[in-house]
């Protein structure tokens, strides 16, 4: 029960915190162009691994958000913290987890 209440509060606040429509478009462009430069234009993988939903489903949201914000030391994955907020990284992860 406690978990359910938490999940409800969490999902409501996640919706309330969505970036504005214009910022969403900017983030989508960034995903295709900047992230796509390494992860492939269709995000199937290139220099970086696939970011398609199947490849990410078994990883925690928190771990993925952290990877985007901080990058991964010793790999080509750069930190995006200077460019996007934690909310925006969370939004991107939700988007990656719901691709068709
Ligand atoms: C310069 C190349 C490069 C760019 C640009 C880049 N990445 Fe990465 N990314 C990588 C590499 C390489 C890895 C794998 C790191 C490792 O070996 O653990 C990675 C890993 C990841 C992972 C973890 C995947 C997993 O299966 O654990 C996520 C999520 C991710 N990147 C998202 C992004 C997003 C979102 C962007 C754009 C904002 C981005 N990356 C831009 C190179 C890049």
Domain ranges of the chain: 26-96
Phi, psi of 42 (to 5 degrees): -95, 10
d(CA 57, CA 80): 21
Pocket of ligand 1 (CB under 6 A): 30, 34-35, 37-39, 47-49, 51, 55-56, 59, 64, 67-68, 72, 75-78, 80, 92
**Distance from the alpha carbon of residue 1 to the mean position of ligand 1, in angstroms:** 36
Class of the CATH domain delimited by 26-96: mainly alpha
User: What's the confidence (pLDDT) of residue 10?
Assistant: 52
What string of pLDDT tens digits covers the 100 residues of the chain?
555 555 555 555 555 579 999 999 999 999 999 999 999 999 999 999 999 999 999 999 999 999 999 999 999 999 999 999 999 999 999 999 999 7
Burial of 23 (0-12, 13-18, 19+ CB in 10 A): middle
Whether the Cβ atoms of residue 96 and residue 44 lie closer than 8 Å to each other: no
What does pTM read for this prediction? 0.83
């Amino acid at each position: 029960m406690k978990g359910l209440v938490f999940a409800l509060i969490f999902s409501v606040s996640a919706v309330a915190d969505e970036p504005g429509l214009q910022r969403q478009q900017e983030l989508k462009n960034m995903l295709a162009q900047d992230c796509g430069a390494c992860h492939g234009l269709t995000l199937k993988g290139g220099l970086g691994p696939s970011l398609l939903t199947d490849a990410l489903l078994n990883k925690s949201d928190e771990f993925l958000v952290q990877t985007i914000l901080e990058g991964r030391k010793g790999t080509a994955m750069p930190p995006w913290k200077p460019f996007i907020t934690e909310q925006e990284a969370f939004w991107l992860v939700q988007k990656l987890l719901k691709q068709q």
